[in-house]
């Protein structure tokens, strides 16, 4: 195994080492625990950066592939020609690989998790347990985007489920346990839909390896009804995670209750796992069905887009404005997927990355405001620009990125998604969806302008003792703000930083779907 | 009778059972000479040694035996029997370890030696169940196991709950035995023999099936219902919560692991050997039986999981969860596939580790708080991080989440059910698992999230700690390296053991 092949393994291994280290440090050494909790995401970020550096942009295949046989399953197959059972030896492997899509999402994940780890310094209560579950969450989040095995995909997926349950249930707001339970049951259901689909694919192809399954399905497509069934299992399973309109309730509760650092990861990374699953499996495995039901994806995207935007407009709680905004922006990802052409898919991936960065930034600022004001209710807040001009300025920048203003990452991703859908036969949805862009501007401006301009309002609930002063950005807050803002501007000004490594993979992807 | 059905008779088949029996009697004799105040710990150690010796003898016999051995056409030592006997012995070993530091410090029973002896007798009955191929031998095994278990439940005779549990257990058990015998009488009457291989042979001859098919079917359903008492599934499940709650914790662990495994061992052998291949109008009897077994499995999964959600007593909750797990394990028996025995045995092994572990942690908490309420676990993470971590793994495993033994076990059953297109079973399994998240995570919520009344460090006595460690190693070890179990199965009775049980009649 060369050094480059080891890097993906190291990215998973580092949080595991971190888990053991933190487990061994007694909980009274808060500083050491915090240090481990921050160093590991930093190391992962650097490793991911080195992957980016040595990525071969011409190759559409997964790179840095490493595969180790984990165990062999002896499973009966039926030999129809001889009318008898044959025992097949099915290898199940630990395999990691990074292609263009994985790379883009991995970079984003590493960055957001690092920033979230920095933002976690405000968690002082039960720090050890927090760090432990955060590390477990990291294993899952990195692993999902890199694994080549359906079983490991499921396992990593469940890691994030288990860890987020505790992070929300322990460190959240008032109603945290209910939010954690809603999260657990909804997402548990989603992952079981996914598992059923995986097992069906296993029975059809006799393999758990993503590449093998994809190639076998391409060579020998399933019966139409069966593919249809699997497609809808994926759509519901990942639709819960994304979330798609009727399944979104849990996501609002988590956004409302979870601590800011966790919402950064949740909104920034975990929602994208749903979109990633849709691209990889629903579209990648079953392109014909995806083509047949592209209108449904576009329709669901439109519903998400408008529903989220309308509801974001009437919320009086900043957290919920951002939460509905996330819901709305996931609609744009669905638009990009529904386009089923290179530009649309690229827009979808761009939107995943860009929205991840923007929502992480928004929720980081929200956390900063909450710490100072002890509330995030729009009714009681106002005039923040007077007391904290830099923070307010960054908030406006993030809001503009969220609205999709040019030269920021939101613009480039929304533009491509819409363009893609306009070029496809379902352009009507895109045309209607344009309304949402106006709505986005409306709700973002309503929320942020009311928050920042005007005379400074200090909410009555704020008590002086034990609270952060009404200062502007503090030294420990500089790094997250700078990193996220820089990434947003970089993608906005020079989109090729993402587009170049994506091009080959997406080109291959679209070619396999028979598109252009 | 044709001779070729039965392999060589060899007395060594009963050696492991003899080891257990001798140990038990030895313990009872020593007890007579022991002064009243003396510690009974050595008795438990003696019991542990007896079980370990039995396991070693069994392993040696299997290793040197040229082929399948039989004794008196009533006990049969094949790979299947060896596997299940070893599971039973491991289970009893863990139960003895749990009892090592006193069954219940707050309410001493004074019958510790008898307790050990009865546990060994019960193990003996269980091993007979795993190896019996004769309905008479089977019934004797069943009754040895049941009679011992009745007393094990009611050993704290001054506790009202224990007495209530024991009484319910005796009455339900008696009825279940009656139902089983009633069903067996049809079969024995029609075939004229009590050996299950001979029964299969006799019933498949001539026109018996076409003339008496209905009677045989009724007999089978009665036997199935009777055996459901031992495996704690619907329809004889009503005893489970009260008995689990009332019995001392070691007994509860015994009932959940050893007794259930023994019941499954015989159920599997009976159905596969005798009934599943009898030809009927629709092909084989197994196709006719399928809906009934599936109904039992589905009813068990739903009743167990739905009622467990409402429990505040952890023992009672685990009792309902035990009903649900019996439902999961019945799935391969309903949706027949060539891997079915592997699947059930895998699940039973995983279930043994995770349940014993969960009970051990509960035991440690009980020794401190004197309560099995869910709330008494609150704040355990701060009192003993190790026990909290262990319980995290056990609960994840019981819920079927990665990366634990329970995950692979459920996954294996799941892919087996879909293999033959048993969608209803597979989807029910999935939904039931989601329901179970609710109450398993309720335990974890108490341990990890809720603050407890005290932050005083909590220690576990040696035996309990050992069980926790063994169970943790087992649960995580199988979770990380499932190959261990697959290889063990291959070596023990080849993956096609089902065909072995069919005795070449497939």
Per-residue model confidence as pLDDT tens digits over B82-141: 889 999 999 999 999 998 887 766 666 778 889 999 999 999 999 999 999 899 999 999
Range list of β-strands (E), A28-99: 63-79, 84-98
Exposure string of B180-219, with b = 16+ CB inside 10 Å and e = fewer, is bbebbebbbebbebbbbbbbbbbbeeeebbeebbeebbeb
pLDDT of residue B490: 77
A95, β-bridge pairs: A67
pLDDT of residue B105: 65
The residue among A249 and B78 whose pLDDT is bigger is A249
Residue of B nearest to A208 (CA): B415
First CA to last CA across chain A, in angstroms?
A: 36
pLDDT of residue B400: 93
Question: DSSP for B352-376?
Answer: HHHHHHHHHHHHHHHHHHS--BGGG
pLDDT of residue A382: 84
pLDDT of residue B494: 47
SS3 of residue A149 by DSSP: strand
Taking only the tens place, the pLDDT of each residue in B4-50 is 556 677 888 899 999 999 999 999 999 999 888 888 888 999 999 99
- Of A292, A260, A241, nearest to A513 by C-alpha is A292
Q: Within a 10 A sphere around the Cβ of B491, how many other Cβ atoms? A: 9
pTM: 0.94
pLDDT of residue B506: 39
Q: CB B401 to CB A154 under 8 A? A: no
Q: Considering only residues 363 to 382 of chain B, which have any Cβ-Cβ distance to chain A shorter than 8 Å? A: 381
Residues A381 and A375 sit within 8 Å (Cβ to Cβ): yes
Q: Closest to B486 (Cβ–Cβ): which among A74, A185, A195?
A: A74
Q: How many CB pairs under 8 A join A and B?
A: 77
pLDDT of residue B141: 93
Residues A268 and A357 sit within 8 Å (Cβ to Cβ): yes
- Of A480, A487, A474, A492, nearest to A390 by C-alpha is A474
Question: DSSP for B35-68?
Answer: -TTS-SHHHHHHHHHHHHHHHHHHHHHHHH-SS-
Q: CB B448 to CB A161 under 8 A? A: no
Residues B84 and B265 sit within 8 Å (Cβ to Cβ): yes
Q: Rounded CA gap, A188 and A169, in Å?
A: 16
Side-chain-side CA neighbours of B12 within 13 Å: the count stands at 15
**Interface contact A307, partner B, CB < 8 A:** no
Residues B471 and B354 sit within 8 Å (Cβ to Cβ): yes
A212, β-bridge pairs: none
Out of B162-171, B244-253, B266-275, B473-482, pick the least confident: B266-275
Q: CB B339 to CB A154 under 8 A? A: no
With a CB cutoff of 8 Å and minimum separation 6, the contacts of B14 are: B71, B75
* Helix axes B112-131 and B41-64, enclosed angle (nearest 10): 20
Q: Is the dihedral of CA A214, A216, A217, A219 positive or negative?
A: positive
With a CB cutoff of 8 Å and minimum separation 6, the contacts of A451 are: A318, A369, A378, A381, A382, A384, A392, A395
Q: Is B421 exposed, middle or buried (0-12, 13-18, 19+ CB in 10 A)?
A: exposed
pLDDT of residue A465: 61
Q: CB A129 to CB B438 under 8 A? A: no
For B284, the enclosing helix (H) or strand (E) is strand B283-284
- Of B224, B390, B195, B357, nearest to B297 by C-alpha is B224
**Interface contact B391, partner A, CB < 8 A:** no
Q: CB A184 to CB B496 under 8 A? A: no
Residues B246 and B255 sit within 8 Å (Cβ to Cβ): no
Q: CB B401 to CB A162 under 8 A? A: yes
Task: Identify the residue among B432, B434, B457 best suited for mutation to test binding to A, counting A beta carbons within 10 A and taking the highest.
Answer: B434
Q: Rounded CA gap, A186 and A288, in Å?
A: 29
| Chain A residues near residue B433 by CB distance under 8 angstroms | 188, 192
- Of A273, A152, A141, nearest to A208 by C-alpha is A152
Task: Identify the residue among A19, A73, A125, A139 best suited for mutation to test binding to B, counting B beta carbons within 10 A and taking the highest.
Answer: A73
Task: Identify the residue among A75, A93, A167 best suited for mutation to test binding to B, counting B beta carbons within 10 A and taking the highest.
Answer: A75
**Interface contact A16, partner B, CB < 8 A:** no
**Interface contact A195, partner B, CB < 8 A:** yes
B313, β-bridge pairs: B373
ipTM of the complex: 0.92
Longest dimension (CA), chain A: 84
Q: How far is A233 from chain B (nearest CA, A)?
A: 12
The residue among A172 and B52 whose pLDDT is bigger is B52
**Interface contact A71, partner B, CB < 8 A:** yes
pLDDT per residue rounded down to tens, chain A (516 residues): 788 889 999 999 999 999 999 999 988 888 899 999 999 999 999 999 999 998 988 888 888 999 999 988 888 776 667 777 777 888 899 999 998 999 999 999 999 999 999 998 887 788 899 999 999 999 999 999 999 999 999 999 999 999 999 999 988 888 888 999 999 999 999 999 999 999 999 988 888 999 999 999 988 888 999 999 999 999 999 999 989 988 999 999 999 999 999 999 999 999 999 999 999 999 999 998 999 999 999 999 999 999 999 999 999 999 999 999 999 999 999 999 999 888 999 999 999 999 999 999 999 999 988 888 888 888 888 888 888 889 999 999 999 999 988 889 999 999 999 999 999 888 999 999 999 889 999 999 999 988 888 888 887 777 666 566 777 888 888 999 999 999 999 999 999 999 999 999 998 888 887 765
């Amino acid at each position: 195994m060369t050094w480059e092949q080891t890097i993906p393994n190291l990215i998973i291994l580092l949080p595991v080492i971190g888990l053991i280290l933190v487990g061994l440090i007694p909980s009274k050494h808060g500083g050491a625990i915090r240090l481990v909790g921050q160093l590991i995401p930093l190391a992962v970020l650097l490793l991911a950066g080195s992957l980016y550096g040595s990525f071969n942009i011409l190759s559409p295949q997964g790179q840095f592939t490493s595969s180790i046989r984990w165990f062999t399953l002896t499973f009966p197959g039926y030999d129809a020609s001889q009318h008898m059972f044959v025992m097949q030896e099915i290898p199940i492997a630990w395999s990691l690989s990074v292609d263009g899509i994985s790379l883009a999402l991995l970079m984003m994940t590493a960055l957001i998790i690092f920033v979230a780890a920095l933002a976690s310094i405000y968690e002082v209560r039960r720090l050890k347990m927090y760090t432990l579950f955060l590390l477990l969450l990291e294993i899952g989040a990195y692993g999902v985007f890199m694994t080549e095995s359906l079983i490991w995909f499921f396992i990593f997926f469940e890691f994030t489920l288990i860890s987020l349950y505790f992070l929300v249930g322990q460190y959240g707001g008032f109603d945290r346990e209910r939010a954690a339970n809603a999260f657990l049951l909804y997402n548990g259901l989603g992952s079981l839909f996914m598992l059923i689909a995986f097992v069906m694919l296993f029975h059809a192809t006799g393999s758990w390896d993503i590449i093998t399954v994809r190639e076998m399905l391409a060579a020998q497509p399933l019966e139409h009804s069966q593919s249809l069934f699997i497609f809808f299992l994926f759509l519901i399973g990942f639709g819960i995670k994304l979330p798609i309109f009727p399944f979104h309730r849990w996501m609002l509760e988590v956004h409302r209750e979870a601590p800011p650092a966790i919402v950064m990861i949740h909104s920034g990374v975990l929602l994208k796992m749903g979109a990633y699953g849709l691209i990889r499996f629903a579209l990648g495995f079953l392109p014909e069905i995806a083509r047949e039901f592209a209108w449904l994806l576009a329709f669901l995207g439109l519903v998400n887009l408008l529903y989220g935007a309308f509801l974001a407009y009437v919320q009086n709680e900043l957290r919920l404005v951002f939460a509905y905004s996330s819901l709305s922006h996931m609609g744009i990802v669905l638009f990009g997927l529904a386009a089923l052409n290179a530009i649309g898919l690229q827009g979808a991936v761009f939107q995943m990355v860009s929205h991840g960065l923007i929502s992480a930034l928004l929720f980081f600022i929200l956390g900063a405001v909450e710490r100072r004001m002890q509330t995030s209710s729009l009714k009681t807040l106002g005039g923040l620009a007077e007391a904290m001009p830099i923070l307010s300025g960054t908030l406006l920048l993030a809001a503009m990125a969220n609205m999709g203003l040019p030269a920021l990452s939101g613009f480039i991703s929304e533009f491509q998604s819409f363009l893609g859908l306009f070029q496809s036969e379902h352009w009507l949805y895109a045309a209607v969806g344009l309304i949402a862009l106006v709505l986005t501007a409306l709700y973002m401006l309503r929320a942020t302008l009311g928050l920042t301009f005007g005379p400074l309002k200090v909410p009555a609930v704020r008590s002086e003792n034990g609270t952060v002063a009404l200062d502007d950005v503090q030294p420990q807050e500089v790094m997250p703000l700078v990193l996220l803002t820089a990434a947003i501007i970089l993608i906005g000004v020079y989109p090729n930083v993402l587009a170049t490594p994506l091009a080959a993979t997406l080109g291959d992807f679209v070619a396999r779907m028979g598109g252009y | 009778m044709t001779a070729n059905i039965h392999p060589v008779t060899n007395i060594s088949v009963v050696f492991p059972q003899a080891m257990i029996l001798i140990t038990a009697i030895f313990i009872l004799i020593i007890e007579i000479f022991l002064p009243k105040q003396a510690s009974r710990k050595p008795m438990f150690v003696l019991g542990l040694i007896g079980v370990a010796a039995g396991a070693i003898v069994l392993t040696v016999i299997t290793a040197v035996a040229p082929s399948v051995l039989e004794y008196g056409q009533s006990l049969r030592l094949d790979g299947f029997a060896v596997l299940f006997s070893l599971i039973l012995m491991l289970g009893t070993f863990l139960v003895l370890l749990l009892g090592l530091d006193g069954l219940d410090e707050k309410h001493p029973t004074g019958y510790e030696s008898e307790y050990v002896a009865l546990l060994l007798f019960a193990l003996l009955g269980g091993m007979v169940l795993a190896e019996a191929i004769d309905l008479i031998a089977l019934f004797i095994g069943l009754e040895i196991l049941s009679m011992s278990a009745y007393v094990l439940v009611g050993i704290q005779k001054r506790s009202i709950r224990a007495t209530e549990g024991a009484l319910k257990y005796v009455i339900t058990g008696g009825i279940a035995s009656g139902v089983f015998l009633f069903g067996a009488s049809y079969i024995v009457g029609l075939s004229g023999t009590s050996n299950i291989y001979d029964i299969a042979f006799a019933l498949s001859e001539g026109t018996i099936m076409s003339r008496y098919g209905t009677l045989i079917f009724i007999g089978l359903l009665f036997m199935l219902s009777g055996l459901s008492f031992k495996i704690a599934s619907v329809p004889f499940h009503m005893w489970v919560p009260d008995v689990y709650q009332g019995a001392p914790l070691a007994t509860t662990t015994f009932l959940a692991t050893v007794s259930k495994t023994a019941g499954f061992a015989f159920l599997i052998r009976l159905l596969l050997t005798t009934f599943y291949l009898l030809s009927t109008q629709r092909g084989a009897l197994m196709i006719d039986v399928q809906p009934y077994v599936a109904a039992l499995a589905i009813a068990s999964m739903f009743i167990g999981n739905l009622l467990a959600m409402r429990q505040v007593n952890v023992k009672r909750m685990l009792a309902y969860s035990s009903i649900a797990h019996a439902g999961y394990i019945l799935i391969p028996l309903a949706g027949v596939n060539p891997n079915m025995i592997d699947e059930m045995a895998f699940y039973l092994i995983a279930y043994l580790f995770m349940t014993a572990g969960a009970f051990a942690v509960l035991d440690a908490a009980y020794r401190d708080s004197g309560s099995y309420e869910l709330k008494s676990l609150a704040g355990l993470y701060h009192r003993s991080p190790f026990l909290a971590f262990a319980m995290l793994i056990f609960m994840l495993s019981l819920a079927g989440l990665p990366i634990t033994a329970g995950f692979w076990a459920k996954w294996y059953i799941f892919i087996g059910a879909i293999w033959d297109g048993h969608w209803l079973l597979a989807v029910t399994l999935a939904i039931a698992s989601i329901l179970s998240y609710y109450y398993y995570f309720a335990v974890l919520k108490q341990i990890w999230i809720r603050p407890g009344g005290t932050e005083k460090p909590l220690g576990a006595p040696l035996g309990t700690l050992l069980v926790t460690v063994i169970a943790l190693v087992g649960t995580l070890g199988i979770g990380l390296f499932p190959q261990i179990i697959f290889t063990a199965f291959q070596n023990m009775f080849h993956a096609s053991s089902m065909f072995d049980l069919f005795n070449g009649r497939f």
